[in-house]
């Protein structure tokens, strides 16, 4: 029985513990470095784990990444798995759209422009936009592209801004690209929910021990209500995310990431408020989960961009006199 079934069997608990230990080790020994994780996963027998837990395995990687704040190539692995069927050989990274573009590749038939997670090295999958919204992909050697490290909001994050000529054979891949972006959004939403969970936990622990006016902050009505509201928003995002992992689908993943980004922002606002000035300092752990979440939210469409896209999708098929479809979220 898997983690999201009616219980958790002992073998899955062992897998979780091993993966959490691995990511904590990577975050400690390779702080600030972007780590290719394939070799370490192979040591854990990852292919067998994926075969037995095909959904939970991918979900676990991004829960562990959010919890540990490690920097790995997990997002590339998820996207490359969706693109493998149209690639003519192995690749190391996927060029992601520029932040302003959200999910639309910033490359045309002549030039490439986008973001690579980690240093610019190996073989890069470059998505190229067509004139009618289609997408083709080509694989370009990193040495043929220009790259420079971005000055990111989260200073510990390693992103590379990439540009250059697209001199590779292009393969039509609209369906595969949409599947890759969908998988990426689901993965990023998982990381965002975990980051928000850690920030909320820090805030709750703080108000439980911090004393003002002779009483614990957590005993006052205002911070208790604010934390309860943030917790409810996070629970709703987690419910949508669980549904997306179970049933898949482009719209489901889009909604899950939008909700996760919004929940992370709501939790961050409240956590910074109740923790006060100490939560803004480098010595306190809270800022690490706040800034990393803001950074992750920007990839493949921020929550603001995705909410606008969802609104467009809902109105696309709307005609006068026809009711809009109901969109319902819930928290358990």
Tell me if the pTM is above 0.85.
yes
Contact 274, 223 (CB under 8 A): yes
How do the domains of the chain map onto residue ranges? 10-72, 85-172, 176-316
pLDDT in tens, 6-50: 345 788 999 999 999 999 999 998 777 899 999 999 999 999 999
CATH code for 85-172?
A: 2.40.110
Question: Could you give phi then psi for residue 159, rounded to 5 degrees?
Answer: -120, 145
| Residue 288 burial (10 A CB sphere; 0-12, 13-18, 19+) | middle
**Pairwise CA distance, residues 71 & 293, whole Å:** 13
Beta-bridged to residue 295, according to DSSP, are none
Which helix (H) or strand (E) segment holds residue 222: the answer is helix 221-247
**Pairwise CA distance, residues 276 & 211, whole Å:** 13
Residue 224 banded pLDDT, cuts 50, 70, 90: confident
**Pairwise CA distance, residues 138 & 328, whole Å:** 39
**Pairwise CA distance, residues 112 & 146, whole Å:** 10
pLDDT in tens, 238-260: 999 999 999 888 999 999 999 99
pLDDT in tens, 69-92: 999 999 999 999 999 999 988 999
Helix boundaries (H) for 248-285: 250-275
CB environment 172-204: b (16+ within 10 A), e (fewer): ebeebbebbbbbbbbbbbbbbbbbbbbbbebbb
Question: Could you give phi then psi for residue 258, rounded to 5 degrees?
Answer: -60, -45
pLDDT in tens, 111-120: 888 999 999 9
Average pLDDT, the chain: 87
CATH code for 176-316?
A: 1.20.140.10
The SS3 of residue 21 is helix
Which helix (H) or strand (E) segment holds residue 278: the answer is none
Average pLDDT for residues 169-198, to the nearest whole number? 95
For position 1, what pLDDT does the model report?
A: 36
Contact 150, 299 (CB under 8 A): no
């Amino acid at each position: 029985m898997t983690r999201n079934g009616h219980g958790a069997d002992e073998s899955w608990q062992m897998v979780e513990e091993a993966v959490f230990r691995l990511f904590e080790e990577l975050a400690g020994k390779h702080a600030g470095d972007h780590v290719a994780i394939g070799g370490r996963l192979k040591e854990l027998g990852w292919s067998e784990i994926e075969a037995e837990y095909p959904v939970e395995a991918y979900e676990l990687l991004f829960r562990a990444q959010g919890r540990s704040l490690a920097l790995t190539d997990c997002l590339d692995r998820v996207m490359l798995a969706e693109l493998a069927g149209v690639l003519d050989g192995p690749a190391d990274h996927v060029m992601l759209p520029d932040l302003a573009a959200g999910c639309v590749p910033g490359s045309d038939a002549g030039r490439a422009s986008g973001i690579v997670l980690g240093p610019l090295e190996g073989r890069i999958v470059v998505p190229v936009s067509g004139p009618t919204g289609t997408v083709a992909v080509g694989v370009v050697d990193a040495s043929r592209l220009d790259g420079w490290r971005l000055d990111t909001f989260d200073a510990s994050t390693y992103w590379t801004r990439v540009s250059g000529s697209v001199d590779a054979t292009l393969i039509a891949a609209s369906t595969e690209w949409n599947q890759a972006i969908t998988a990426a959004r689901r993965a990023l939403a998982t990381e965002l929910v975990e980051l928000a969970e850690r920030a909320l936990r820090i805030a709750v622990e703080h108000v439980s021990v911090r004393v003002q006016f002779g009483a614990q902050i957590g005993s006052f009505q205002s911070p208790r209500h604010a934390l309860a509201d943030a917790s409810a928003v996070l629970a709703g995002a987690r419910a949508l995310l669980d549904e997306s992992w179970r049933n898949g689908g482009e719209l489901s993943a889009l909604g899950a990431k939008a909700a996760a980004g919004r929940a992370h922002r709501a939790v961050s606002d409240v956590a910074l408020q109740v923790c006060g000035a100490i939560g803004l300092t480098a010595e306190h752990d809270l800022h690490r989960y706040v800034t990393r979440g803001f950074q992750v939210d920007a990839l493949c469409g921020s929550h603001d961009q995705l909410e606008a896209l969802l609104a467009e999708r809902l109105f696309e098929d709307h005609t006068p006199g026809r009711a809009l479809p109901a969109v319902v979220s819930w928290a358990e």
